[in-house]
Structure 1
Amino acid sequence: MSSPAPNSAEHPWPVRSVSAKVAQWIDRLGSIWVEGQITQINSRPGTRTAFLVVRDPSVDMSLSVTCSPQLLQSLPVPLTEGSQVVLFGKLSFYTGRGSVSLRVTEIRAVGVGELLARIERLRALLAAEGLFDARLKRPVPFLPGTIGLITGRASAAERDVLSVAGRRWPAVRFEIRNTPVQGPAAVPQMLEALRELDADPHVDVIVLARGGGSVEDLLPFSDEALCRAVSACRTPVVSAVGHEPDSPLSDHVADLRAATPTDAAKLLVPDAAAEQATVTELRGRAAAALRNWVQRESRHLAQLRSRPALADPLQGLTRRVEEVERLRDHGRRAVTRSIDTEHRTTEHLRARLTTLGPAATLARGYAVVQRMVPDGDAEVLRSRDDAPVGTQVRIRVADGALRAAVIGKDT
């Protein structure tokens, strides 16, 4: 086939050329393996081609598949809508109607063992990324104002949650999103409901609820997209999927795991009667504790009042009065004795000073002769040589002093 002219507004390619190029590019992909979930099977008797639709359960994307009816009939387990399969085939672009289809030559139904192995691999991956870390779990409120509930329409799980929660706390409010909980449409609709409830500011906690079932039935709750969406929610999420032995991956990424939907209602909504009984009990215990404390302190005060120090506060002082008087008299006597002793000592010293003093000597008839020195103090005469004739002298006697002059000397 000749190459078309360069593409431009003046030289546009015809549709046949575009379709041929698209077919060439798709044909280069070759044969591939594809995994998905069957959502539609159309195989009519007498036809040469069976038509299927396979979709990705994590996102809203599907692919048309064609095969021979004999291939479907030869499978050991008949395929049904919702079956998880692995297909081998080659993509083809049909230029006549501009559509892409996968022509398959081999179909393998994914068994329970393979599903469990894939779940375990995804479990290890999410655990390595820290989505199971207990430190990331958000606390669930004690009494949520509004509970978001994602569950199947008119399901037993919905009835269990609503009835149990209503009996335990009649004022509880729910924001319900009914979605498929199994099959090809389950994951996309649950993701959309999860986004809506997480964006609602009135919703305090979200519950994923479903009854028990087989591994295939519970497969949407182990979907990677759903697990990552639960982990990314800002609102606490409670996983109440299946029965006690069931453990989908949503149980591990959720902030709280409930064994059953009924258990979720019991974990989220307190029992009003039990809470009232607890409040009554605590009030009685608080009143009893207060009474016991008052009685204990009253007995303690009574014991303090009965002690001698408080019964007769002046008794201690009364007992000390005599001791104080005795010590005061003893102190007074000691001071008086000390004063008398010092007085006698002073008198004795005074008598000695009087006896030894010059006045006493003068009183016995002695006199003190002093030589008068002009412009100077009088000097005591100790020798007659110090007073030549004519020297002015001062004679001091017991009752006064005399002035005289030396008129002569006697031997």
Structure 2
Amino acid sequence: MAGAPNAQGPRNSPETAQPLGAVVGMLKGWVERCGWVWVEAQVIELRRRANYSMQFLTLRDTAREISAQITATNAVLDAAGPLTEGTTVLACLRPRVWNKTARLSFECSVIRIAGEGRLLAELEQRRRALQAEGLFDPSRKRPLPLVPGRIGLITGADSAAERDVLTNTLRRWPAARFEVRHALMQGPHSAAEVAAALAGLDADPLIDLIVIARGGGSLEDLLPFSDEDLVRAVAAAGTPVVSAIGHEPDTPILDLVADLRASTPTDAAKRIVPDAADEQQYVAELVGRARTAIVSRVKSEYYELGRLTSRPVLRDPGSALEGHVQRLEMARFRLRSTIDRIVSDESQAVNHALARIRAMSPKATLERGYAIVADSDNSSVTSIGDTEPGEQLVVFLSDGRLIVEVDDAVPGPGAPTG
């Protein structure tokens, strides 16, 4: 039949054509009857959009070039852990057909990282939880002693890591002393044995530093050093702990909580003790610099001393006092002159006062020809009325006294009459 879309022909005629929406609806029903199914696939595209609850990603078959678009909520993606492009995952999907576009996509309810990626995701979740508690905070890191008196070493028995730490440490610092504790460094019992050895060394007051050392290995081999109990034991230790696990790319969680992370056991030996040869050379340099500084200082002070002794005041110390002596003599002269002037002025004032006093004294009056008359009781006689005829009076003159007898009392002019 001409114009037929396929060899089988249509199931109806143009006269009985069905609405497209009805056909899409039937297709949606057929597809979604498949229900939920677990698939293994690889993430080839993931772009998370901010402020959207629904996210889109593309999964591809691990063996063939078959891909599909997946929708998942933020909660599903967050629960899966850190997803990156290229990660192999196990996803629980169900197919869906969109009514408007008839486009086929898959809704995802659970995503789990498969294989090694799953382990990495679990470790990342554990790391984030411990980090949120502050166990990796740099402020918790304790400084290592410059020269530890005794070093605790936790490692495998007769391991290359043990030889590397011991040999390289003693080569750098021959006086280093170790307390070695052997433990299983991989396997299900490794974390417990390492934690027990750590507790024993941490309780020893002679141990100044603890090193946990192991050579490289696979992710599964190094899992004990991301064990939560061991990580917490290191965080709680009172002795500084150095983590020397694996090689440079290996980063177990123990590296993050330790006070110092060494990239390899050999690197740990370089970090825990100084190099004796370097320190001797450094001391020699310091001694040389100190000697040079002392000689330079002595020369400088000697020159300054010579410059000071060349000054006139030090050549003739007495000359500096001449000016002071002259000023002292001048001050002494002014002081004497002032005292003499004050004494003279005060003496003159005293003489004037004495002259005034003498001029007003009874003796001066007597010397001018006056006399003082007193009766026999030495009471002054100032009026003729104070005497009686025949009474003896004493007359005081300037050069003596007279005893007289009153013969008569004659009133003076202007005197009142009796």
Query: For the superposition of Structure 1 and Structure 2, which TM-score range results when normalised by the shorter chain?
Result: 0.5 to 0.7
* Distance in 1 (alpha carbons) for counterparts of 2:230 and 2:179: 20
After the TM superposition, which residues 185-196 of structure 1 pair with which residues of structure 2 at under 5 Å, given as runs? 186-187=190-191, 189-191=193-195, 193-194=197-198
TM-aligned CA deviation for residue 169 of structure 1: 1.8
The aligned counterpart of 2:380 is: 379
Distance 1:135 1:397, change over 3 A: closer
Query: Is 1:167 paired with 2:168?
Result: no
Mapping 1:263-278, distance limit 5 Å: 263-278=267-282
Q: Deviations over 1:261-306 (max 9, x none)?
A: 2211111121110111122223333344444455555555555545
- Tell me if structure 1 keeps the 8 A contact 2:375–2:381: no
Q: What is the rounded CA distance, in whole Å, between the counterparts of 2:358 and 2:234 in structure 1? A: 122
Note the aligned Cα RMSD (angstroms).
Answer: 3.8
Cα deviation for residue 121 of structure 1 reads: 2.0
Q: Give the one of 136, 139, 144 matched to 1:140.
A: 144
The 5 A counterparts of 1:196-275 are 197-198=201-202, 203-275=207-279
TM-score by length of 1: 0.59
1:405 is matched with 405
Distance 1:145 1:345 in 2: 96
The answer as to whether partners of 1:212 and 1:243 remain within 8 angstroms in 2 is yes
Gaps of 5+ in 1: 1-107
Q: Is the 1:180–1:186 contact (alpha carbons within 8 Å) kept by the matching residues of 2?
A: yes
Which residue number in structure 2 is paired with residue 315 of structure 1? 319
Q: Percent identity?
A: 50
Superposition pairs of residues 4-83 of structure 1, within 5 angstroms: none
1:371/1:391 contact within 8 Å kept: no
Larger relative contact order (CA 8 Å, sep ≥ 6): 1
- Give, in whole Å, the separation in 2 of the partners of 1:350 and 1:203: 104
Question: How much has 1:213 moved relative to structure 2?
Answer: 3.5
Residue identity opposite 1:239 in structure 2:
S
CA distance in 2, matches of 1:109, 1:187: 25
Change in 2 beyond 3 A, CA 1:393/1:154: closer
Is residue 368 from structure 1 mapped to residue 371 from structure 2 by the alignment? Answer: yes
1:34-54 CA-to-partner distances (Å, cap 9, x unmatched) read xxxxxxxxxxxxxxxxxxxxx
Matched position secondary structure for 1:389: coil
Residue 318 to residue 194, structure 1, CA distance change in 2 (3 Å): closer
Aligned-partner SS, 2:317? coil
Residue pair 2:372, 2:397 contacting (<8 A) in 1 also = no
What are the ranges of 5 or more consecutive residues in structure 2 without an aligned counterpart?
1-111, 412-418
- Structure 1: distance between partners of 2:348 and 2:197: 119
1:306-351, Cα deviation, whole Å (9 max, x unpaired): 5554443332433343444444444444444444455555555555
Distance verdict in 2 for CA 1:239–1:390, change over 3 Å = same
Work out whether residues 371 and 392 of structure 1, in 8 Å CA contact, stay in contact via their aligned partners in 2.
no
From the superposition, tell whether residues 224 and 308 of structure 1 become closer, same or farther in structure 2 (CA, over 3 Å): same
Partners of 1:132 and 1:400 in 2: CA distance: 126
The whole-number CA distance in structure 2 between the counterparts of 1:260 and 1:254 is 14
Match of 1:96 in 2: none
